[in-house]
Structure 1
Amino acid sequence: MALCSQCSSLNLKSLITSDYPACYNHDFQHARIINLLRTAKGCALCALFLEALAGTGGEPSSGGQFSPLALGGPLQKHHAELLLNIKHDPPELVFPYLRKVGLCLTGLSVRTSLSDVTGRSVRLFTYADGTAGYPGIIGRPRLSNSGSPEAFKLLRRWISGCREQHAQCFQTFAGVSIDTHQNPELPKRVIDVGGNGNGSQPIKVLGTRGMRAKYTAMTHCWGNAAAKSPIVSVQSNIARRCHAIEWDELPRSFQDAVIVTREVGIRFLWIDSLCIVQDDHSEWLQESVKMGTIYEQAELTIAASHACDSHQGLFFPRSEPPPVVELPSFLGSDHLTRVYATTVRDTKEDLYPEHGALNQRAWATQEWLLARRMVFYTKAQMIWSCKTVTQRETGEKCFNTARNPKWKIIVEHYSDRKLTMPTDKLIALEGVRTEFEKRTGNTYLFGIWKQSLPDELLWAVCEKSDQRVPLDLPSWTWATVSVGVRFLPMHRARNLCHYIRPGSDNAIIMKSWIRPIEVTQGWLYAPHSNRKDVQSHGFQSFLRIQSEMELSNIKNITSLADRLYNNGELTGWAVFDCPSLPKPASPVYGLTLMGTMSRKDECSHLTTYIRSKKLRVYWLLLVQQLTEESNYIRVGVGKVFSKTWLVDATIEEITIT
């Protein structure tokens, strides 16, 4: 299909008005939508723009064309214009070929002059390999298959580029430099994939006995049903596994991992189900605490991102590629490199690792975080992720939340994922915990850090649950619940505890403000002293609390939270740790941990009652008293907006177990 005159003349110079980086704020008016609907019938590029504008407008029709009907009506009525703006990546993220300055173009954002109508991007790429192409176009063509020769060539380029360019990728999570002058010590066992490169040598499990060599590691879903479980090593078959493993014995994902390992020129592969004797509990405990180091020392981690079990494989069949249109004048007449445009039809569910089956596996948290180099095999693309760059096979950068090193973020991601064995709740984070401890020198306390008390105690569940994890853990840790958690966001809050410290028998001892909260027919009431200056502003309070909950970091909070009243006024909210259970019958107390109260206000409360001039925010633990005096357990968390919350509170030392 030919191009219209407007598209034939489209070039880079018309899209920019000045040198980098100011050029990126320029909108280029391409055509009116009413004209685009007409020209798209005969112009391939106009048809691409129309498809991009349709965005999430559905699948192609039987003829392979996207329907433009959704773009009629208001766009034509208001004479909307099609606007183009160049999309780019920062030069430091251009990879695997180094480019430190200048234009790094990945595509064109497509939208209309009506601010509420936006579309997807049109992707730009060249077929030129590496530095031979025009250096401003960093997009690459979509691969036909992630198991193709072109895919392995790209993977080898990614690995070599990372080795040559990324100093950060030679450091552990703790910040310790990895010695590049010698190979890492191999795990206790690895899979020998054959050293001659043609696969004629047998595959076998190898006891390493202190050997040093490069190796790959695999992260994968085990699957739920017994019929879909991966091949495993147990005490009765480990000797046979060390002699040979027949190719047909390996499930498809393991076969593909062997192929990847061979293609990148590495002889050894580590897979947990084969390299750890699964029915030897003592060995499993010893090796499980080493898993973080195993992934961190691996030359490459192979992630079966979208495979629900070990039988689905890495190299998923792909849908037909979207149409590709050459832009004959894009770089001007003095450039020989040809530039092409296409759309992206892959869904985010098929494209991104965060939407794959592996993302539901709790053990994957530390594997993703500690691995220095990973290749994710999703349904739509290969995605490279190292400590420096996360990038699609087509060249565009990705944002990888899995590498966020903040402990609260790690816990939130981890808690959303599933464990086959509840007893692994803290074991599956042991590798990250060890590296985090090396990096910070902090003291670990059952999933939180002593130096981050009391704010790391302020977590809330995100789903309904009627039971705690069947482990002997203190009630104050997030690891006691079997659902996802979120830490309460705090702005300008300070610690209001007079002191807080670990005690004996896994307890936490603190001295702070505490007051009773009555639980009556599902409502929470804070008894008050009926002071005359306490006023009720019910509707305003309701709007404030409702708005605050909706903006909270906690998923599903409006359905999980109980409203907290003080003197008849809605003053806050609370979430119990097991929301599906009946509310506690015995007394519940609100223990104030953090607040926006100034030191001056706090001193005033210690001496005489003075009403705060400003509305204060307090973050509470809900605790329940045990039979022993001053001994409590945690039952929930809450937040209060009040000028008088501490008026009826007393300062006490309590122990939470």
Structure 2
Amino acid sequence: MQRIASNRHSGGSRSPSPLLTFEDIAPSNAETMLCSACQRIFAQTPRPLAKYDRLWVDIAANCYVPREEATRLPHHPTQQSFDQAVQDGCFICTKVDVAPAGKPVKPSSSIMGINSQRSYWQSLVKIISMETDEAHHATLRYKVTVYNVCEIGEEVQGRAKSFFMVPVRGRKPELNVPANGRLSQIKKWMTACCRHHEWGCVKYRRHEWARPSRLINVGPRGQDFVSLELFENIRDLDVPYITMSHRWLEPRPPVLERGNMAKLMRSGVSISSLPRSYQDAISIVRYVGIRYLWIDSLCILQDSQEDFDKEAKRMGNIYAGGVFNIVASNSGNWKTGLFSNRTDKGLIPIVQPSWPDIGNDKVFAINPEGVDASERILLGRHLYNRGWIHQEVHLALSNLFCTERQLWWACLEGTCCETYPGGLNEVFHGMGYRTSRLGIIRTLVVPEINPPFWHKLHKKQGDQTFESRLFVYAWLKLVQIYSGSITTQSDDKLVAIGGIVELLREWICTTRCNPEPGYFSGMWRYCLLEQLTWCAYGSYRANTLDCRWTGTYRIPTWSWASINGAVFYDHITGEEYTHDWILPGASKPSKPLAKILSLSTTGLDPLGRTSNRNILKIQGATFPVSFKTRELDPMVWADIEYNQSGSIKRLGIQIYFDCSEELLEAENDQSGYIAMPLLLQESKQERGLFLILRGIVLHKIGDDEEMQLYKRCGYFDSRFTHWSRGELILNTIAKNPLVKDDSVYSVDDIYLIT
């Protein structure tokens, strides 16, 4: 066992290099990034701009109109000129939502009973002053909306795309990192993260992490090989290293095996024999002044199951303990490196509008409305569906995402990219951008991290449900993202998150004072009722089902991992346009309607490879299910019957089958299905306040009357728009009046689910 040492990475002793200033960027790149029609928007003949409260748009007349006087602001005169601008790569035109793009509008033969052969296509522009600073006579932001309008007969159709114009001076001058400045920018990001992100990143690095068994010594610049070193032979136990997340390539690159380990340690491996992404990673590590790199294929023995199992358990520590993690999002083959091909025209346009009354700021950057920095976008098509990747990026403190278009830096305290190297939070203040929730798991693993007050993750005084809500939110968000992934080896489905499980087990033992947290096939004994309410994503969204998972070990039907496909938790919020860490509100937590009695299992197994049946013993009320149609779909309407004041009542529910096998079985025989309510939850939605009854659908296995053994077949819910009806149902199915302290209700039925 390696000695656990504190891991403190300073990123160098020198002070951080200054960020880019306005003088480092070209005053304007409109000529290279915008078509002539878009350039005319900002270089038009000076005239007063209409105020927002005086502005309205007459689409039929193809103009923007102040109330007092009409002023045209045309864009492309013809669809052909617009299509050419799109083909030439105009920044604005390529983002405008036009339908049908690139094709002439076909007039309808009859609209509203009137025959017509007339059609035309035009575009217009609307400009709104969004924010001003009267004291300094400066406009802080404009909103530019480009409309594409077509008229067919008597019908006018329009599509639009909005952009924000933000002053370069005064808000964020760091824009458009030049292609030859990428390495220096990565070092600036790393240095700022290591030195100045005190509340989150610095504390995370100071945590004690188990060290890797082996590391790759990249050597000095100019050396044409890298070598393998055993960690036990490295004198500095606190040595910094960088990790890498990548997709395994075909043909397989050089890997570490028992037969070549001595050679890799003695003479190393030639850099030219490695994929381009590996070579670029070595260049990054050398440039930022770090000596060691960790890549799974070269640091884990690929022909030893024993070594794989040992390293898999500590994988969470390995990625969490690195200075940062290089994510090869765009590297799908040997020739594709980490740096995308870029021209010199920049990533976003910078313009100098010749408008009067524009204030002191004369240079503006054109930003698309909303920027998608979600995990799906940053990982890209090559990595998002790869099982191991999610664990790596969730536990690494900082991730350098090398995407198809540009580099992204995401850490606990912000998100940056080559377009906005100073960070998105400042540039998009008040505009919003889509971000991921990569930091949530880390706040559990390292409880010393205390987000600043402006985040919404802090614990409120007297909040007794904070820890459980935080755990449920973090774990279920991870399951939603991870469940749809695949692993090269089918048996690695639960192994690939074993590192996170190991670290969360330590958190549960420390925070909840529970010596045996219990983890069973992807499900925690802690807060298990909430985890049981998973729904097959295909059943919920796509109306198509996957099959049951098959492997060398068994996964019980009550676990989300028992199906080959993504799962969905309806009560867990999605990714939002905000940089805040959102935690569900503490008001009225879910009311439990069942009680977990026991789990027959061998105990905690971080790798998920349990050898027994994992029988869940649960106490709760159940109700017979009657389907409303003979032809069943992945989602089907049904009724459950319950007794109210001596009469039989019916409650409509929606059932979502778990997998194709369960749907086929129900189609052949619809008898014998029962519904077990698990939770009653308050949900605040756009249409108002809802009560949602959530539960699972069960079906008996075998004919043994003494052994009441069931399997899970699906998930169900029912929504109430009024509290009174929800409370009535709750009292009925619980068989007892509500208990004031919200404790679990007394029920008589006990079920075994396998």
After TM superposition, the score normalised by the length of structure 2 is: 0.62
Q: Aligned partners of 1:60, 1:290: CA distance in 2, in Å?
A: 53
- For residue 94 of structure 1, what is the aligned residue in structure 2? none
- For residue 35 of structure 1, what is the aligned residue in structure 2? 74
1:445 partnered with 2:527: no
- For residue 595 of structure 1, what is the aligned residue in structure 2? 680
- Contact 1:277/1:283 (<8 A) preserved: yes
Question: How far 1:37 moved relative to its partner?
Answer: 4.0
Question: How far 1:253 moved relative to its partner?
Answer: 1.1
Classify 1:82/1:641 alpha carbon distance in 2 versus 1 (closer, same or farther; 3 Å).
Answer: closer
- Contact 2:536/2:656 (<8 A) preserved: yes
Match among 495, 504, 508 for residue 592 of structure 2: 495
Match among 198, 207, 212 for residue 187 of structure 1: 212
Q: Which amino acid aligns with 1:621?
A: V
- For residue 568 of structure 2, what is the aligned residue in structure 1? 486
Q: Aligned partners of 1:321, 1:399: CA distance in 2, in Å?
A: 26
- For residue 161 of structure 2, what is the aligned residue in structure 1? 119
- For residue 60 of structure 2, what is the aligned residue in structure 1? none
Q: Aligned partners of 1:266, 1:331: CA distance in 2, in Å?
A: 51
Question: How far 1:625 moved relative to its partner?
Answer: 3.7
Question: How far 1:570 moved relative to its partner?
Answer: 8.2
SS at match of 1:619: strand
CA deviation map 1:247-292 (0-9, x unaligned): 2211111111111111111111000000101111101100111111
- Contact 1:589/1:622 (<8 A) preserved: yes
SS at match of 2:269: coil
Q: Aligned partners of 1:425, 1:5: CA distance in 2, in Å?
A: 54
1:473 partnered with 2:555: yes
Q: Aligned partners of 1:156, 1:234: CA distance in 2, in Å?
A: 33
- Contact 2:640/2:675 (<8 A) preserved: no
Question: How far 1:11 moved relative to its partner?
Answer: 12
Question: How far 1:466 moved relative to its partner?
Answer: 2.7
SS at match of 2:185: helix
Question: How far 1:238 moved relative to its partner?
Answer: 1.6
Classify 1:363/1:142 alpha carbon distance in 2 versus 1 (closer, same or farther; 3 Å).
Answer: same
- Contact 1:497/1:592 (<8 A) preserved: yes
Q: Which amino acid aligns with 1:167?
A: E
Equivalent runs, 1:14-25 vs 2, <5 Å: none
- For residue 197 of structure 2, what is the aligned residue in structure 1? 166
Classify 1:80/1:274 alpha carbon distance in 2 versus 1 (closer, same or farther; 3 Å).
Answer: closer
Q: Aligned partners of 1:87, 1:305: CA distance in 2, in Å?
A: 37
SS at match of 2:337: coil
Classify 1:241/1:254 alpha carbon distance in 2 versus 1 (closer, same or farther; 3 Å).
Answer: same
- Contact 1:125/1:141 (<8 A) preserved: no
Q: Which amino acid aligns with 1:258?
A: I
1:235 partnered with 2:258: yes
- For residue 516 of structure 1, what is the aligned residue in structure 2? 624
Q: Which amino acid aligns with 1:35?
A: P
- Contact 2:677/2:693 (<8 A) preserved: no
Classify 1:240/1:191 alpha carbon distance in 2 versus 1 (closer, same or farther; 3 Å).
Answer: same
CA deviation map 1:424-476 (0-9, x unaligned): 12221122223333334452422223231312101121231232332223321
CA deviation map 1:507-528 (0-9, x unaligned): 322221113336798568xxxx
Classify 1:160/1:440 alpha carbon distance in 2 versus 1 (closer, same or farther; 3 Å).
Answer: same
- Contact 1:361/1:419 (<8 A) preserved: yes
Q: Which amino acid aligns with 1:179?
A: R
Q: Which amino acid aligns with 1:656?
A: I
| 490-499 or 633-642, which deviates more | 490-499
Equivalent runs, 1:320-339 vs 2, <5 Å: 321=345, 324=349, 326-327=351-352, 339=364
Seq. identity, %: 21
Match among 564, 576, 584 for residue 638 of structure 2: 564
Question: How far 1:338 moved relative to its partner?
Answer: 5.3
Equivalent runs, 1:41-80 vs 2, <5 Å: 51=93, 54-55=96-97
Stretches of structure 2 that go unaligned for 5 or more consecutive residues are: 1-30, 54-63, 108-117, 133-137, 150-156, 425-432, 442-473, 539-544, 573-587, 602-611, 642-648, 683-689, 736-746
* Aligned residue-pair number: 552
- For residue 187 of structure 2, what is the aligned residue in structure 1? 156
Q: Aligned partners of 1:399, 1:648: CA distance in 2, in Å?
A: 41
Classify 1:596/1:344 alpha carbon distance in 2 versus 1 (closer, same or farther; 3 Å).
Answer: closer
Equivalent runs, 1:90-109 vs 2, <5 Å: 108-109=143-144
SS at match of 2:480: helix
- For residue 413 of structure 2, what is the aligned residue in structure 1? 388
- For residue 404 of structure 2, what is the aligned residue in structure 1? 379
Equivalent runs, 1:31-430 vs 2, <5 Å: 35-37=74-76, 51=93, 54-55=96-97, 82-84=126-128, 108-110=143-145, 117-121=159-163, 134-141=169-176, 143-144=178-179, 148=180, 150-170=181-201, 177-179=204-206, 186-194=211-219, 196=220, 198-200=221-223, 202-209=225-232, 211-223=237-249, 227-242=250-265, 243-309=267-333, 311-318=335-342, 321=345, 324=349, 326-327=351-352, 339=364, 341=366, 352-395=377-420, 397=424, 399-403=434-438, 404-405=440-441, 406-430=474-498
Question: How far 1:637 moved relative to its partner?
Answer: 1.7
1:654 partnered with 2:751: yes
Q: Aligned partners of 1:501, 1:472: CA distance in 2, in Å?
A: 19
Q: Which amino acid aligns with 1:561?
A: M
Q: Which amino acid aligns with 2:338?
A: L
SS at match of 1:590: strand
Question: How far 1:327 moved relative to its partner?
Answer: 0.2
Question: How far 1:392 moved relative to its partner?
Answer: 2.0
- Contact 1:500/1:510 (<8 A) preserved: yes
Q: Aligned partners of 2:408, 2:239: CA distance in 1, in Å?
A: 25
1:637 partnered with 2:715: yes
Q: Which amino acid aligns with 1:562?
A: V
Classify 1:631/1:119 alpha carbon distance in 2 versus 1 (closer, same or farther; 3 Å).
Answer: same
CA deviation map 1:541-585 (0-9, x unaligned): xxxxxxxxxxxxxxxxxx521221358978222222222452255
Q: Aligned partners of 1:104, 1:386: CA distance in 2, in Å?
A: 31
- For residue 531 of structure 2, what is the aligned residue in structure 1? 456
CA deviation map 1:590-645 (0-9, x unaligned): 22212369xxxxxxxxxxxxxxxx99845333243443522222222222469797
Q: Which amino acid aligns with 1:360?
A: N
Q: Aligned partners of 2:658, 2:733: CA distance in 1, in Å?
A: 27
Q: Which amino acid aligns with 1:653?
A: I
SS at match of 2:206: coil
- Contact 2:167/2:361 (<8 A) preserved: no
CA deviation map 1:339-383 (0-9, x unaligned): 565879999999931433111111111111111111111110111
- Contact 1:573/1:638 (<8 A) preserved: yes
- Contact 2:548/2:659 (<8 A) preserved: yes
Q: Aligned partners of 1:589, 1:185: CA distance in 2, in Å?
A: 47
- Contact 2:78/2:121 (<8 A) preserved: no
Question: How far 1:307 moved relative to its partner?
Answer: 1.6
CA deviation map 1:101-128 (0-9, x unaligned): xx997985535699974314266675xx
- Contact 1:458/1:621 (<8 A) preserved: no
Q: Aligned partners of 1:104, 1:417: CA distance in 2, in Å?
A: 46
Classify 1:479/1:577 alpha carbon distance in 2 versus 1 (closer, same or farther; 3 Å).
Answer: same
After TM superposition, the score normalised by the length of structure 1 is: 0.70
CA deviation map 1:477-503 (0-9, x unaligned): 112222111124289742112554434
Q: Aligned partners of 2:91, 2:480: CA distance in 1, in Å?
A: 39
Stretches of structure 1 that go unaligned for 5 or more consecutive residues are: 18-26, 62-66, 89-102, 127-133, 525-558, 598-613
- For residue 435 of structure 1, what is the aligned residue in structure 2? 503
